[in-house]
Structure 1
Amino acid sequence: MWLKIVGSLMVVIAGATIGFNLAARYVERPRQIRQLISCLASLKAHINYAALPLPEALSKCTGGVSGPVADLFQAMGRILVTNGWLTPQAAMNQALTETTKLVLRKPEKEVLAVFSANLGGMNREEQHKSLDLAHEQLSLIQCEAEKLCEQNVKMYRYLGICGGLGVVIILI
């Protein structure tokens, strides 16, 4: 009897944990997009006004930002310093594969790929325009991510708990 109760409790807790972890990814995505927008704005200031070299600007643009997004820009700057022959786009792709805790999806990664392809290959005005375009695109993606967050967070939490309860009912 006690074994069934303990086993059932463990199954419900496992289901709830899975549901809450999936919901946390939906909560984290808009936050990381906001951090990306913040880092891009800081990068724009470092490139246009301070006229810093790209690896140094990438390392300094993460001021006030922590977590996977800061790790992404730090890794990109480090890659450009150690491998000076790499293009910014190749460095961004390598940094995206190195940074594992990012919950970015394909649209954000495409914006970053286009942004990094234009980075360093143009004059300051064109880079300024490219940064503005990336900022606008990420802002639109952020609105969509917040809508998805509102829709799916409760659903995944309830689905995790109810799924665990459903498995318990089937097993008993």
Structure 2
Amino acid sequence: MTAALAGKALLFLGCTALGVLRGQGLRQRAACLQAFRRVLAALARELAFSLRPLDQLMAGAQEGSQGPVADFFQACCQAFTAGGRESWADSWATALEATPLPLTPEDRRLLREAGDVLGRYDGESQRAALEALLARLEDQGAQAQAEAHRLFRVYLALGVAAGLFCLILL
């Protein structure tokens, strides 16, 4: 009897946990977009006031970030070095595909545009393009934040409902 009750409780908690994990995924997406926005804004400021090479700026971006975003910049620098230091756009695209980031395809497309700009033009043109991209990234991040706030409760409720449904069936 006690084992059956414990099994039911674990089943209910497992379903609820699935709802919470799905909601957390949405929050991670919003946090990742915010982190990219912060790092790219810092890169735009650096491009405006500094003539440091882009590989040094990327290394600084890696140090100034954490989690998946830091992993992305590390992969980007490694791809640039391994590729013979030929193209930041290729290194950026390779790192974007190789790094597991909690982003949608639309988010990745937007970030891919940043890689297409870096290292191709003079500092002022790169900065201007990054500023335009930052505005779009801000909108995308705000949308992700609102979606996470709204849907977290929905996924939690669905997890609880699924757990209750399973309990009723047993």
**Which aligned pairs between 1:135-146 and structure 2 lie closer than 5 A?**
135-146=134-145
Say if 2:110 is the partner of 1:108.
no
The residue identity in structure 2 corresponding to 1:38 is R
State the 1:85 CA deviation.
Answer: 4.7
Separation in structure 1 between the aligned mates of residue 166 and residue 122 of structure 2, nearest angstrom: 60
Q: How does 1:55-66 map to 2 (within 5 A)?
A: 55-66=55-66
Number of equivalent positions: 170
TM-score normalized with structure 1 length: 0.90
Percent identical: 22
SS of the residue 1:104 aligns to: coil
Alignment-mate amino acid for residue 40 of structure 1: L
Relative distance call for 1:146 and 1:109 in structure 2 (3 A) is same
Amino acid at match of 2:117: N
Contact kept in structure 2, 1:71 and 1:99, CA below 8 Å: yes
Q: Deviations over 1:21-40 (max 9, x none)?
A: 10101111221111111100
Residue 94 of structure 2 corresponds to residue 94 of structure 1: yes
SS in 1 for 2:103: coil
Select between 78-87 and 38-47 the one with higher mean Cα deviation: 78-87
Aligned counterparts of 1:167 and 1:80: Cα–Cα separation in 2: 51
Residues in 2 aligned to 1:40 and 1:141: alpha-carbon distance in whole angstroms:
14
- The Cα of 1:141 is off from its aligned counterpart by 0.5
Q: Match of 1:32?
A: 32
Structure 2 gaps of 5+ residues are none
Task: Tell me which amino acid in the other structure corresponds to 1:143.
Answer: A
What root-mean-square deviation, in Å, do the aligned CA atoms of Structure 1 and Structure 2 show? 1.6
Q: Which amino acid aligns with 1:164?
A: G
C-alpha separation between the residues in 2 aligned to 1:56 and 1:83?
16
**Deviation above 4 Å: which 4+ runs of structure 1?**
none
Note the C-alpha offset of 1:63. Answer: 4.2
Could you say if the C-alpha distance between residues 163 and 81 of structure 1 is closer, same or farther in structure 2, counting changes exceeding 3 Å?
same
